[in-house]
Structure formats: structure tokens, C-alpha cells
Structure 1
Amino acid sequence: MRLQLLALLGLALTFTTPSSAHEPPGEPGWSFAIHGGAGVLERARMTPEQQADYKAALQRALDAGSKVLKDGGAALDAVTAAITLLEDDPRFNAGRGAVFTWDGINELDASIMDGNGRAAGAVAGVHVVRHPILLARAVMEDGRHVMLSGKGAEEFARDHDLEIVSPDWFATDERRRQLETLKAQNLSALDVEFKYGTVGAVARDAAGHLAAGTSTGGMTGKRWGRIGDSPVIGAGTYADDAACAVSATGSGEYFIRAAVAHAICERVKAARKLTLNGETEEVPLTTEVLQRIVDGVMAEVGELGGDGGVIVVSPTGKPVFSMNTPGMYRGRATAEGLNEVAIFADE
């Protein structure tokens, strides 16, 4: 009954809201969104120069993925184009610039999913692969497994000629300082970092196919081989052409418990179908309905005690964001000309 009500809500909003106010006319074009982590991001903690630097970095990644889509490329290629740039940028907690574990190493996780057939790949606990997102994609394209970890994942990377670097490649002075502060003052990860470090991207290409990817260094001071939601298909990453593509960032344990990415896509799928007199029809999904669904799932994460954010694209309409934190590094672009990056929740 609840799912049918969601579908009815979607239909009602479709007919009562002028479509031109929310959706582009005709067939949907490409759509793209990125994030660089959510958390306690407040203007008082960032200088105007720092804000400008982060926005410029986000714009570069947004432009890289958008160019792929503008040129008729695949959603998967747009996702990896943006994430590889973010993995090389020490401002973000993924790849170079990843946080340190309790033992003073950088431990990397990533996942990717193709909405066209729901193929997926993920890696966890790698230390020498320059681009974990490319390793996750190689696992997906190999097709024998979905998730590899540790030394086995690194052996797989070498077998597939992916770039291997020294562990020192990922280390930065600022991340080392954060770990030292955490240990010296017995603080939590957020006390020294102020945000959940993860990068991600979601895309819809001109052919209507969806893709999502996520990459992270985890949380400062993590121990015992801790793995969050980022490499977990259905929690931090999910894509299904029949529903949506999602990449998450936040308190990973809660996102895993709520199966956030999969939950959003399942509710979208339900909202696109209406059953009357025993017959099921597909109804349009407006951006407004998508936003309500995404906000609803994030509210449930908050009720569990978790926080963070998500980026989502669907088969129609523009990308949406949702967060229950003061900010999230993010950006979105569409074939219709939308192009924006933002940091704070009120932007």
C-alpha cells in the first residue's frame, strides 16, 4: 500500500505541476553529478580562498565528466573521468590525500556500477593502486567477482596493468597532522577532519544508461581493517537503468544498515509504476518526486543516528542532492545547460 501511495503521489505531481517548470521538454539528455564528501562544512571554518579552491577543483571534475557525455560518451566513462581527477587531488579523501588509518597508512576503497545490466565491481583495503576506481571497474569488467580486497585486489591490479605507485604517493602532511591530533587528544575522526571523506559521481548518458561510482580513504584513525559503505554495492553505490544511480558519502555504518543506495533506487522504481484495475503502467518521474524520495531515505539515516549525503540521477530530469549535514562538496550539470558547484547546504 505504501508503495502504491508513492506511485500515486508521483502521478499526481506529474499532472498538477507544469512539466516545463521541472523537466526538460522531449527526450531527456545527459545528466551528471559529483560529490567530494559531506560533513560539518561551515563558512566560518573556510576562508574565501579555500572555498574558491574547492569549487575550482569540483568544477574541473564536473567538466571532465560532462565533456565525456557531451561528446556522446558512456555514463561509465564520465563517472571514471571525474573520479580519477578527484582521486589525484589532495583536497579530497580518496587516492592521493586519503586519510591515515590508526597505523599510519592510507587504505583505499572504491566501487562502480553499470545501470545497463547491473554489473558491478568493488575493491577494499588497497594501498598501492593509484586509481582505486579504475581497479573497481576492472573487477566489474572481468566479471568473475564483484568485490576484491587487500593484497589479492592489488595482485589483480598488476595482472590488469593498472598503475601501481609507492604508498607514499597517497600521503600528505595535512592528513598526517590530523591523525597525530586525533591520537594526541583522543578525538574522533570528525573532530580533526570535519567531514566524511569520499568522492563520487553519477551519470545518465544520451542513450539513457546510468552509472555510479564512489571512492574513499575512509575515516581518520580507522582500525582493524574497517570498511565503510563506499565499496559496498547497495549501500554507497548503486545503479539501475530502470530506477536511478546513487553515490553516497557519510557515516558508512549507518548507510550500510539502511542499504541507502539500493533503497533509493527501489523506491524510485516503485514510484514509476501505477497499478489500477490489475494493470501496471509506467508513469513519469518528476525531479520533485525524486527529491522527496531521496530526502525520505536520508531522513531515515538520520533517525538511525547517521549523517552524510547522496547524489542521484534518474532516467529523467536533473540530478538531485540530499544531505543532513551543514554541507557537501558537490556539483551537477545537464545537457540543458545547468552547471553549478556548491559547498554549503544553503547554496
Structure 2
Amino acid sequence: MSINPLRTLVWGLALPIAGIGAASAIAHPHGSQASRAEAESPDWALAIHGGAGTIERANMTAEQDAAYRAALQAALDAGVAVLASGGSAMDAIEAVIVPMEDDPKFNAGRGAVFTWDGTNELDAAVMDGKTRAAGAVTGVKRIRNPIQLARAVMADGRHVFLSGQGAETFALEAGFAPTDASWFATKRRREALERMKADRLSALDVDHKFGTVGAVARDVAGNLAAGTSTGGLTGKRWGRIGDAPIIGAGTYADNRSCAVSATGAGEYFIRIGVAREICSRMRLAGEDAQTAADTVITEVGELGGDGGVIVLAPEGKGVFSINTAGMYRGRAASDGTSDVAIYGDE
């Protein structure tokens, strides 16, 4: 597998950062520099992603570029509306991810990739940074918005992670209406499976864009939340589960450190425990969000994996780190910041 150089960007932090070496210059959460940054930090903040991968200008038409930016902005605006009105970080996460699950441009909900057997199997997870309560589902086939089901599992509280038919039985008992499988299927994703089988490609060859969607938020009360939703990998078999619904791998939130949502080659993110590892480095080693994210994504690359993360600390704005050519992403904050981006050099 060919791994691209690590590409990073600090979104709105106090110091201009150009990469890993410079990123380490950000002040730790202690000392005078950190105190000034915290005093200037926005009341609320939000970062979102729609997947990372081989996303290059040369391969995108102007119409495709505009369509993805519009979809990202619409999802971002939905989350901003919640946070700006004093809503919770968890409500903002759901507000962002539901429209992305309904948008066939992303590999989550409608537009999810097909398994080897020609079905769409959906995964999602949420985590509350204040209580560290979490909910996750995997292998769901009939629930239109898996992120809402993951949140229902969290709210129920008896379990954290439900799978397959059990998750759907829980959903029906919780009042979710089943959705016909045809809602999730799209021609583009079916053609990707057919191409994979015909050309004997690997899932990573077909999925050069990891369309997983996710969001991290901080509300005016200072609470963090994270959520991630995905259809997984094209041609996945045997009930394969990626990192997105695994708490600590693709999704994690803890008010003491950070909130993380990941996208990429899930097997590697699981082995490293990417989301929890980033938060642990921030809480225990005193690293800033960018340094922690860069370090862990570098480790993913060293093992042979690719992808990226969005990270939000208890103060400041969102950062991202990728070792791919691009990531569909956006960020906003109460200081008026609002932008979306696609390519690694934006």
C-alpha cells in the first residue's frame, strides 16, 4: 500500500502551524500561553468530516467539488444551529450526521457501500464526553439513521454495543420504524462492488475514498461529544466490523482531553486504538490536539494504514490530521469561523 506524506492543518488555533515539527510548538494545556488561548477560545466549536482518501483536484470536476462543499456546509450549518442556540454537543452531533447519512454522496446510511453478498450493513457510534456514556451499533440493515439508533442505545444505558439482528430488535422496541433496504442502495455503490469482483480488486483499491462521516462538538457548557457513521468497506465479508462503531478506535469523547472521530482503513485504527490514543496523549502527556493527532496518524501510516481524524479539545477549535491526499471536512465556532475544505493543502 502506498502511503502519502502526513498532511495537517491547525484550524484556528493561536499559532500558525505548518506541519508536525511546528505543531509541537503549540502550548500545552498549562502555562501562560495556554491561559491566553483559553481566554480567547470560542464558547462552542464544531468539526465534521465526510471521509478521507485519494481526493485530489485533478480527479474532481467543478460540479463535484461544489456539490461536496454544499453538502458539507449544509451539515455544518445544521450543527451550528444547535450549538448557537445553546443546544448540547450531542444534539449537534446528531444534527450534523443525520443529513450526511441521508446524502448518497457519503458512505453512511443511504449511499453505503455493498457487502460481498450485495447488502448494505451500517455501523455507528456516539460518545458523551461529560459522562463517558456511549452507544454503538453494527451490521444494521433496516434503520435509516444509525447514528440515532446508537444514541438510543446510549440513552437506554443497559449496553454499549449492539450488533445485527439484536440491534434491529432493540430499534423496533425503541420505536424506530424499519426502512426498506432499497433506500440505502445506490447505483454507484453497486457498480463499485461489481468492479471489485470483476477485476479482483481489494476493498482498499475500490474504496480509495473512505466516505465515513463524523462530527465532534463542544457546547456552551463546555461538554464534548463525538459521533461516527459508516457503511464500511466495499465487499466486506463475514460480518466485518471496522473502527467507526468501536469506542476508542474510531470514536471517543472525554471532557478531560478531547473528542475524536476517525475515517480510514479501520483494521489499523482498531489495532492502535486511534481515538482513545489521541485523547490519552493529550490528557496524560500534556500534548496539544495537533501534536497528538499527528503522532498517532503517523503511527497508522507506519503500520501500512491510511485515513485521518478530526479532533476537538476542551478549548480552541477543531484540528485534523491525515496521511491521504484529502478529507471532506468543515469547522465552525462561536467566534464566526465557518468553512469547509476538501484537499490536503487547504
TM-score (norm 2): 0.90
Checking the alignment, whether the CA contact within 8 Å between 2:135 and 2:153 is kept in structure 1 is yes
Stretch of structure 1 that moved more, 8-17 or 295-304: 8-17
Deviation at 1:193, TM superposition (A): 3.4
Output the amino acid matched with 1:312. Answer: V
Q: CA RMSD in A?
A: 2.0
SS of aligned partner of 1:201: strand
Alignment length, in residue pairs? 324
Checking the alignment, whether the CA contact within 8 Å between 2:27 and 2:34 is kept in structure 1 is no
Q: Which has the larger radius of gyration?
A: 1
Q: Does 1:261 align with 2:275?
A: yes
Deviation at 1:304, TM superposition (A): 1.1
Deviation at 1:190, TM superposition (A): 3.4
Output the amino acid matched with 2:283. Answer: K
Provide, for residues 30-64 of structure 1, a one-character-per-residue CA deviation record: whole Å limited to 9, x for no partner.
Answer: 00010001111111111011000000000000000
Q: Does 1:84 align with 2:98?
A: yes
Out of 190, 204, 207, the residue aligned to residue 190 of structure 1 is 204
Output the amino acid matched with 1:136. Answer: A
Q: Does 1:75 align with 2:89?
A: yes
Deviation at 1:267, TM superposition (A): 0.9
Provide, for residues 107-165 of structure 1, a one-character-per-residue CA deviation record: whole Å limited to 9, x for no partner.
Answer: 00000000011000000001000010000000000000000000110010011112320
Deviation at 1:226, TM superposition (A): 0.4
Unaligned runs of 5+ residues in structure 2 are 1-23
SS of aligned partner of 1:317: coil
Deviation at 1:227, TM superposition (A): 0.4
Provide, for residues 217-266 of structure 1, a one-character-per-residue CA deviation record: whole Å limited to 9, x for no partner.
Answer: 00001111100000100000000011100000000000000000000111
Return the alpha-carbon distance in structure 1 between the equivalents of residues 227 and 78 of structure 2. Answer: 15
Counterpart of 1:340 in structure 2 is 339
Provide, for residues 267-317 of structure 1, a one-character-per-residue CA deviation record: whole Å limited to 9, x for no partner.
Answer: 111244xxxxxxxxxxxx8xxx32111111111111111110000111101
Stretch of structure 1 that moved more, 262-271 or 96-105: 262-271
Counterpart of 2:59 in structure 1 is 45
Return the alpha-carbon distance in structure 1 between the equivalents of residues 339 and 149 of structure 2. Answer: 29
Return the alpha-carbon distance in structure 2 between the equivalents of residues 144 and 13 of structure 1. Answer: 38
Checking the alignment, whether the CA contact within 8 Å between 2:309 and 2:322 is kept in structure 1 is yes
Q: Does 1:34 align with 2:48?
A: yes
Checking the alignment, whether the CA contact within 8 Å between 1:86 and 1:92 is kept in structure 2 is yes
TM-score (norm 1): 0.89
Counterpart of 2:213 in structure 1 is 199
Q: Does 1:327 align with 2:341?
A: no
Output the amino acid matched with 1:258. Answer: I
SS of aligned partner of 1:58: helix
